Structure 1
Amino acid sequence: MKRHTGFTLIELIVTMAVAAILITLAVPNFRDFLLNNRLTGTANEFIAAANLARSEAIKRGRNATLCVSNNSMDANPTCTGGTNWGLGWLAWVEADGSGALNGDGRLRVGDTLANTGVTFTGGVSSFQYDSRGAVDNTDTLNVCDERTGETGRQITMTATGRVEIDRAFACP
């Protein structure tokens, strides 16, 4: 008698049923994973820009600014005011002490968060670091998405210029 190798129809159906159950359980968790990564990435990009601006202010002995910018990716970006950090941001240092962005003063930019489902708001439009790394004002910025509950990130700028983050912030 010749022995046949392969799968029977029953074995194939059982395998597909088990795979379907596993996928059903994994997909919602994968969505949360993606949303959490988007929030964490946004918060980390901003914190990196803040830390860079602070360290460059100390290193160069000049003021550095981190501000809201809706044209941060342009060749000649500007601070545009407003408190919607989701428009983008710009970190720059006074290259010549003039108080303006010129020359090689641009340090880092953050692109707009439009169409990402992430909101990034605060109470001020800029932070200015002095040559000691301290900021001119303090504020708390909120990074949220469409989920509710303790899924957001809250970034606090302290008077010393250091950044603190709360990873269990309850978004409104």
Structure 2
Amino acid sequence: MKSQGAKGHQGFNLIELLVTLAVFAVILGIAIPSFMDLIRDSKARSQSNQILSYLHYARSEAVKRQLNVEARMTQVSNGWNLQVLRTDNNELLRRLDVSDANVALGGDPNVIFDSRGRPLQQRCIGVIVDESTKYSRQVTVLPGGKIAVEAGQCQ
């Protein structure tokens, strides 16, 4: 029968456990701020892509229906909403409600597309997360009807 000596004992001693926890704490201290930046940037991207999608829908409805269609964005207390409306009778075609008080819209929140799918005016909609320009995106509607999302704020 084998005796349980110093060589037969397996596991961690207290010093090894404390060193492992200290290394883990340092790694977390470095990783968490970067992870929070990633979350904020992802939020700005996803919400600007939602706006992009609804603007494409409004543009295609204007061409399909051969009339002016408006995309109207409104900041509310717990986030923002976007409505796609016919301009002749204010019929609601589609609505998006986003409940995120950390995201603010800036720039020109209303875009009207004519029957050819062109905006009546060039517009820039800003999406700002946590009131920081570091985590902002701009959705630009160009005179020809092209809609693009890029980093930065509306000028």
TM range (shorter): 0.7 to 0.9
- Match of 1:24, as an amino acid? G
1:47 Cα deviation (Å)?
Answer: 0.8
Match of 2:9 in 1: 4
CA deviations on 1:7-62 (whole Å, 9 max, x unpaired) are 11122111111110110011100111111112112211111110111112222333
Match of 2:90 among 95, 101, 105: 101
Greater Cα shift, 11-20 or 53-62: 53-62
Structure 2 vs 1, CA of residues 170 and 157 (structure 1 numbering), >3 Å: closer, same or farther? closer
C-alpha distance in structure 2 between counterparts of 1:151 and 1:110, whole Å: 21
Match of 2:53 among 42, 45, 48: 48
User: Matched residue pairs, number?
Assistant: 147
Match of 2:30 among 1, 25, 40: 25
In the alignment, structure 2 segments of 5+ residues that lack a partner are: none
CA deviations on 1:123-156 (whole Å, 9 max, x unpaired) are 3x522112211111112222223334x5421221
In the alignment, structure 1 segments of 5+ residues that lack a partner are: 72-85
Match of 1:133 among 113, 117, 122: 117
Query: TM-score, normalising length from structure 2?
Result: 0.80
C-alpha contact 2:71 2:82 (8 A) present in aligned 1: yes
Task: Please tell me whether Structure 1 or Structure 2 has the larger radius of gyration of its CA atoms.
Answer: 2
Q: 4+ residue runs of structure 1 moved beyond 6 angstroms?
A: none
Give the RMSD, CA atoms, in angstroms: 2.5
Query: 2:113 matched to 1:122?
Result: no
Query: TM-score, normalising length from structure 1?
Result: 0.73
Match of 1:80 in 2: none
